[in-house]
Amino acid sequence: MSSKSKRFIRNLAILIVVLVATAYVASGEHMELIAKL
């Protein structure tokens, strides 16, 4: 696997994490998640 494709996969993973985090914040469920911790 070339370094370029590794970088692409890492950027894609970061993008997915950001989208999931944004969805949690938008739905307000992150407050319940923090309360459980």
Amino acid 3: pLDDT: 93
Pull the structure tokens for residue 22: 């944004």
What's the pLDDT band for 8 if we cut at 50, 70, 90? very high
Q: Is 2 helix (H, G, I), strand (E, B) or coil?
A: coil
Nearest to 1 by CA among 25, 14, 10: 10
Residue 35 pLDDT more than 80?
Answer: no
Q: Which residue has the tokens 């949690």?
A: 24
Any idea what DSSP says for residue 28?
T
Amino acid 27: pLDDT: 77
Amino acid 25: pLDDT: 78
Each domain of the chain, given as residue ranges in start order, spans 3-36
Q: Is-contact 1 8, C-beta < 8 A?
A: no
Per-residue model confidence as pLDDT tens digits over 11-33: 999 999 999 888 877 777 666 76
Residues 6+ apart with CB under 8 A from 30: 21, 24
